[in-house]
Amino acid sequence: MKTFLEKEPSLPSPESWSFVRELAERSVRRSAASVPSGAIDLRGGVRIRRNFPDPEHRLDTAYDDLETFFAESRIPSGGAYSIETELIRTEVFEAYRVEITAGGCRIQAADAEGIRRGIFFLEDRILEAGGTAVLPGNFFRKPWVKTRLSRCFFGPIKRPPFNRDELMDSVDYYPDEYLNRLAHEGINGLWLTIAFTDLCRTSFAPPDPNSEKRLAKLRATVEKCLRYGIKTYVFCIEPRAMAPDSELFAKYPEMKGAPVTWDPTRYCICTSSESGRRYVYESVNFLFSAVPRLGGLVNISYGERPTSCLSTDFGRKCPLCSKKSPGEILASVMGPMERGMHDAAPDAELICWLYVPQNGTGGSLHADEMLDLAAKLPEGVVLQYNYESSGGKEQLGVYRHAGDYWLSYEGPSEIYGQIAETVRSRGGAMSAKIQVGCSHEVATVPFVPVPGLLYRKYKTMRKLGVSHVMQCWYFGNYPGIMNRAAGELAFEEFADTEHDFLLRLARPEWGDCAKKTVEAWQSLAEGYSYYPLENMFQYYGPVHDGLAWPLFLIPVNKGLAPTWRLDYGTSGDRYGECLGAFTLEEVRTLTRTMSEKWHRGVLLLQPVRESLSGNGERLKDIRVAEALDLQLQSAAAILQFYTLREKLLEGDASVLDAMERIVREEKDRSFRMVEFCREDSRLGFHSEAENYKYFPEKLLWRCRELDFLLEEEFPVVRERLKKHLPPVEEATRKTYRCNSGKMEPCGSFSWSASYEAGILKVRIASEKSADYRIIVEPKPFYPPVEASIPEGKDSVEIPLPMERSQAAFNIAQVQSGEGWAGWNPVPHRLVLGDYNPVRMGSLILREDTASN
């Protein structure tokens, strides 16, 4: 069956990504404020006195920015008003004092980065006072978030399907003005991905042929970023598990640790062995020796991918590690890393990330083990944990479990709080992994403008003693209001209210419209908090790119595509795959509410748009909110369409007009988003997908697909209904009747099934010993129930409470690939697996006449 009328359009080439050029251009900051009473007039000119000692000229970029800022504000240089930078003593790195009087301004700090922060602080005070004046005041600020890590918005992720490595190409991912914007927003660290085997030279293995090329670009990146006060951190998942026949294991068999439970082709690195610990030490020591001034290393030491024996059942399958506690195993990894780093670079930071997402991808929380890891981490290592993972909140009267990566859910989870307390009790440093700009909820806009939700996260983080924040994964890092909010919150004392903070945040950029803008932000945040708290809705739902999804009146049974990937094509009509623990009605209700409340916030921004009609940057911010308005409306409409299609397939012909109306409205939304995309090239781009999830050509393609629906399929269905036929012609399937006692032949095996008291029992018979997979789909367009009959067994019982009389079904022999209804697995999808919904027969469970 042909799923789409036309072939999907090709992706835009990287050369066409206009936002890359825009990031390299200076972002001119214009005041939108009136000059307040009592402000000091700067139009007579200013004189910058660079008195702070800066032998490495790290502050040149900050001074240059200040001079350019004055020129753009038409404030002459060489005037009488003096702005001096001075050295003072402070207790905290980056702390600064700014004294503004009628006689001049003094910016004081104990380090260059404090001066930099003070310069940017002064610029904001001038912007909120009309751009040519400043109010007098005496300010002292110090950060409680020491390290604020972000990432390049368009940098390669070094993962499938493209496997691009930013250290192997000639692209400049860090243009000067891009770094300048990040510095203004409080970012003081950027991370990029590496692997030990690509860069490190050790006594265990020869270096990669391209290691020096990678190191040269990494050194250049480090030095360039430092000019803006931004350190470079490398991210890795090490020591990486290896194939059992790897050269390393052949030479050092004692390093071959526990087999990886879920991947028998790899074995963990055993750091209970002397050679294992030395391998880790030498790798890290070489890297930090070879790249001077490298800021630090972020390592997922548990979770995501297999590394040490800790990865497999906490080391219980390794003869050496099984004698240790989980915390002792982790210490045997992080201890050598810490020594290797600090022997070469005493000021560098080592961040140990425990990635336990609790997002349905496998693995249990094991709270006791997590606390043991936190308690026994070596001194000098920062512990990082996902702030929201394994948390939850009530929605629609039911407690909902949160996996990882939420902006709409404030957190923290209970386990995060327990880990933070454990770390604090031993005097350690704690990092929070959060998503500042956007998250897996929707990552096809540069940011989601809900700074009030960040305020609530940071307020609790400060109480928990958090000192480091990793602000993003591959997405959630574009410059803008959310980065700015995070930068300000790192210095916030929370002495007043969320509303007060938001007003302070808004005034430099929104000026006289700050109050109205804050009102809109609060409405947007209220709406966004209704996002269904379900990872499957993040991973497969329509919020990211529903505007590019065709709709299917006549079912095609095509699966949904992962929202962060492009190699799975466009999503189909198996809407049940994105619901997780929710019902369709629940998700539809929450998404509709989210959309309606978000729309109210967008309406509040319309008078702001009129007032700031000449301010291009603020108009782009409003356009982002409007784009999200369309995306949320579309998501709600898609869910409503399939709710109605369920009713149509059950025989309710009255819904057809409403379905047709939805299709026409969706076509209008896609057309409108085409206009938005042509204005703003950031829209539709997904940093982890490394390209666009929607773009003008794809949106227009969708419109043509919807035209076919309106012109061809709706008339066909209407004609069938007039003839009192079912709305769609049912596909012909193989059929088996339970409890018939019949052995159904299937190549080299046969099978039978019985169903009684909610239990489906499947038996197999074969002369060959083999493994079998069973797939049962209790409800059309929803994920199936899967079961297996392992080699040596001949039956399995599957709990299957069913109201329906039939279920889609297939059984296959794993080794031969013989399947009752054929067997053609689709590419594996996270959580959903590789089942093919088209290759299914029908299992008649009961002798009643209920529909399938």
Q: Mind listing the pLDDT tens digit for each residue in 237-257?
A: 999 999 999 999 999 999 999
pLDDT at 362: 64
In this prediction, residue 125 carries a pLDDT of 99
pLDDT tens across 313-326, in order? 999 999 999 999 99
Cα first-last separation, the chain: 21
Collapsed DSSP state (helix, strand, coil) of residue 369: helix
Q: How confident is the model at residue 730 (pLDDT cuts 50, 70, 90)?
A: confident
Q: Tokens in use for 426?
A: 């031993």
**Token pair for 148:** 């604020």
Give the model confidence (pLDDT) of 786-815 as tens digits: 999 999 999 999 999 998 999 999 999 999
Name the pTM for this structure: 0.96
Residue 848 has pLDDT above 70, yes or no: no
**Neighbour tally for 69: CB within 10 Å:** 19
Of the candidates 399, 383, 380, the one whose C-alpha atom is nearest the C-alpha of residue 391 is: 399
Query: Is 1's pLDDT higher than 60?
Result: no
3 state SS of 310? helix
Token pair 């020796």 is found at: 289
pLDDT of residue 137: 98
In tens, the pLDDT along 362-399 reads 666 789 999 999 999 999 999 999 999 999 999 999 99
Given pLDDT bands bounded at 50, 70 and 90, which one contains residue 358? confident
The per-residue pLDDT for range 333-355, each reduced to its tens digit, is: 999 999 999 999 999 999 999 99
Residue type, 80: A
The angle at the Cα of 491, spanning 486 to 493, to the nearest 5 degrees, equals 115
pLDDT at position 360, please? 73
The CATH superfamily label for domain 147-490 reads: Glycosidases (3.20.20.80)
How deeply is 688 buried, as exposed, middle or buried, from its count of CB atoms within 10 A (0-12, 13-18, 19+)?
middle
- pLDDT tens digits along 519-546: 999 999 999 999 999 999 999 999 999 9
Q: How far is CA 761 from CA 737, 758, 814, 847, in A?
A: 13, 10, 19, 17
Q: Give the integer Cα–Cα distance in Å for 582 and 537.
A: 9
pLDDT at residue 850 is higher than 70: no
* pLDDT at residue 64 in the model: 98
Instruction: Find out if CATH 2.60.40.10 is the number for domain 735-844.
Output: yes
- pLDDT of the residue at 846: 86
Residue-averaged pLDDT of the chain? 97
Predicted local confidence at residue 776, as pLDDT? 98
Share of the chain above pLDDT 70, in %: 99
> What residues pair up with 84 in beta bridges, in sequence order?
49, 106
Buried b (16+ CB within 10 A) or exposed e, 443-474: bbbbbbbbbbbbbebbebbbebebbbbbbbbb
Residue 144: pLDDT band (50, 70, 90) is very high
pLDDT of res. 803? 87
**Tens of pLDDT along 203-226?**
999 999 999 999 999 999 999 999
Q: Greater confidence, 849 or 826?
A: 826
Check for a shared fold between 147-490 and 735-844: no
Q: Where are the domains of the chain?
A: 14-19+530-722, 147-490, 735-844
What are the C-alpha distances in Å from 276 to residues 45, 181, 204, 520?
A: 63, 42, 10, 55
Q: Say what the pLDDT of residue 851 is.
A: 41
Instruction: Write out pLDDT tens, residues 608-647.
Output: 999 999 999 999 999 999 999 999 999 999 999 999 999 9
Query: pLDDT tens-digit profile of 818-838?
Result: 999 999 999 999 999 999 999
Q: What is the pLDDT of residue 2?
A: 64
| Residue 491 to residue 507: CA distance in whole angstroms | 17
Phi, psi of 315 (to 5 degrees): 85, 5
pLDDT bracket for residue 731 (50, 70, 90): confident
Q: pLDDT of 54-94, one tens digit each? A: 999 999 999 999 999 999 999 999 999 999 999 999 999 99
Dump pLDDT digits (tens) for 13-44: 999 999 999 999 999 999 999 999 999 999 99
